[in-house]
Structure 1
Amino acid sequence: MYKITVRQRALRLLDEGLTISEVSRRTGVSRYAIREWRLRTDQGHDLYVAPPRECPRCDEIPRLPEPTAPYSYLLGLYLGDGCISPVGDPAKRVWALRVMCANTWPGLQRECVDAMRAVRPDNKVRLIPLQGCTEVNSHSKHWPCLFPQHGPGKKHARKIVLADWQQEIVERFAKEFVRGLIHSDGSRFTNRVRYAHKDGDRWYEYPRYNFANVSTDIQRLFTDALDRLGIAWKQMNAQNVSVARREAVARLDEFVGPKY
């Protein structure tokens, strides 16, 4: 959203006789925004109240959610520790996006809040204290539009497939998607391996990442994103994917790192 001073300057330039195109070039503000500001003032409306954002997926011509990078991160959080559930009067069709964040990681809670606000800036984000964790939630009529993986029952009990438009975002912002998945269902820790030595057992330590999810579909989304980024991984068991090679861990450290 443009600052008040920018809006006021743009309107002053219009009053001085400059055209909308000239004001746009001088201020860097889009012509669409300048026209909207002039119309609002001509109609006697408050210049500083932005109209509510409609859902980009409900437009006559559906478009990608913007900004797309926070959406990709939030999608990762949702697939890991998130859910969508109805709230209030069913006739109003309002939904809550809920993401559970451990209290151990306050930085993760802040990033989750920022991502929700970026994707739906006109909807309030709430922090609800629970036992050992905090629920970050936001109410909107459009969460099921933005996360079509929503459905009855637990995610691992149903098919999880990205829509074509989501796949486009994940391919463009694979780092943010992987980061969201690891922040929800992953960890970075030091692995200790004991090995025999002539002077007795010794320990070898190295950092590794682990991603754990019951859903094989979500695991595949995670490993597909790693493949896209050229990061080696290994399937440890039915629920766990490991990233342990030194160069692969270093690559994840560039944009994920330990939770904080």
Structure 2
Amino acid sequence: MYDEQTREIALAAMAAGESLNAISKRLGISRAALRDWRDGKVRRTPPSSCPRCGSGRLDRPSYAHLLGPYLGDGCLSRHRRDVYALRIACDDLYPRLIDEAVTAIAAVHPSRPVHRVRAVGYTSVVSYWKHWPCLFPQHGPGPKHRRTIALADWQHEIVAEHPQLFLRGLFNSDGCRVTNWTTRPVAGQPKRYEYPRYLFSNESPDIMHLCQRALDVLDIP
């Protein structure tokens, strides 16, 4: 589902002679949708059932994975008719992480397309749905580090079930892996040892606490 502003931008570009392929790449809109708009067709699809306020089924492992990048680099923005856009900002230097974000969103909300919107140096992974606020009650005005971020009880349950995936999502957004090294004497000669070190940083003390809590579940000091 696309908001009306995006549709108007696409129609204006078509009227100006821009190709469907170019518009699709620039705005992250499928060419099928562009052809329908060009030909005056409107696709009718049944509304998605929300796992929280409806009878829909939530892919809990994928949601645990998606919760991490949402807390790190995600936001919700409200559009017309109470449709919300979930946006995850991903650095173009890490295409595999972009693919992981797309896969996680598609698993949580499989009935709508996931879009890749290119910008300077990064790609926004975008999905439209009225019920994104149901799945991310942490949504609110202002940066996350300037307000309280607390998980609902049902979110805590999912994170406790899949702490590895939750941590993977967090570290994909605000973590890194480096190679540390040290030397030890072996048979009187110094020998170099290398080992990976994972680092996580976030300006929100609440998100830092959620990361530490998930690490505690896995007995990682």
TM-score per shorter chain, which class?
0.7 to 0.9
* Counterpart among 170, 181, 187 of residue 159 in structure 2: 170
CA apart distance, 1:205 = 4.4
CA apart distance, 1:192 = 5.1
Q: What residue in structure 1 maps to residue 135 of structure 2?
A: 146
The correspondence of residues 6-85 of structure 1 with structure 2, limited to 5 A, is: 52-59=47-54, 66-85=58-77
Q: What residue in structure 1 maps to residue 20 of structure 2?
A: none
1:83 partner letter: C
Looking at structure 1, the residues matched to 110 and 196 of structure 2 have their Cα atoms a distance apart, in angstroms, of 37
1:177 partner letter: F
Q: What residue in structure 1 maps to residue 205 of structure 2?
A: 216
Q: What residue in structure 1 maps to residue 170 of structure 2?
A: 181
Tell me: CA distance 1:75–1:192, structure 2 relative to 1, closer, same or farther (3 Å): same
Looking at structure 1, the residues matched to 144 and 45 of structure 2 have their Cα atoms a distance apart, in angstroms, of 36
Larger radius of gyration: 1
- Structure 1's unaligned 5+ residue stretches are 1-48, 196-201, 233-260
Higher relative contact order (CA 8 A, sep 6+): 2
CA apart distance, 1:193 = 6.5
Q: What residue in structure 1 maps to residue 122 of structure 2?
A: 133
Looking at structure 1, the residues matched to 193 and 129 of structure 2 have their Cα atoms a distance apart, in angstroms, of 50
SS of structure 2 residue aligned to 1:122: coil
SS of structure 2 residue aligned to 1:189: strand
Looking at structure 1, the residues matched to 150 and 133 of structure 2 have their Cα atoms a distance apart, in angstroms, of 14
Q: What residue in structure 1 maps to residue 24 of structure 2?
A: none
Looking at structure 2, the residues matched to 205 and 223 of structure 1 have their Cα atoms a distance apart, in angstroms, of 25
Looking at structure 1, the residues matched to 169 and 106 of structure 2 have their Cα atoms a distance apart, in angstroms, of 15
Looking at structure 2, the residues matched to 50 and 70 of structure 1 have their Cα atoms a distance apart, in angstroms, of 24
1:39-84 CA-partner distances (Å, limit 9, x unpaired): xxxxxxxxxx99543111112xx78x52100000000110011111
Q: TM-score, normalised by structure 1?
A: 0.62
Q: What residue in structure 1 maps to residue 145 of structure 2?
A: 156
1:58 partner letter: C
CA apart distance, 1:191 = 3.0
Looking at structure 2, the residues matched to 142 and 156 of structure 1 have their Cα atoms a distance apart, in angstroms, of 24
Looking at structure 2, the residues matched to 178 and 144 of structure 1 have their Cα atoms a distance apart, in angstroms, of 22
Q: What residue in structure 2 maps to residue 229 of structure 1?
A: 218
Aligned residues: 173
- Structure 2's unaligned 5+ residue stretches are 1-43, 185-190
1:125-171 CA-partner distances (Å, limit 9, x unpaired): 11011111111011111111100000000000000000011111000
SS of structure 2 residue aligned to 1:206: strand
Looking at structure 2, the residues matched to 152 and 50 of structure 1 have their Cα atoms a distance apart, in angstroms, of 31
**Moved segments of 4+, more than 6 Å:** none
Tell me: CA distance 1:131–1:192, structure 2 relative to 1, closer, same or farther (3 Å): farther
Looking at structure 1, the residues matched to 69 and 135 of structure 2 have their Cα atoms a distance apart, in angstroms, of 13
Identity of aligned residues (%): 51
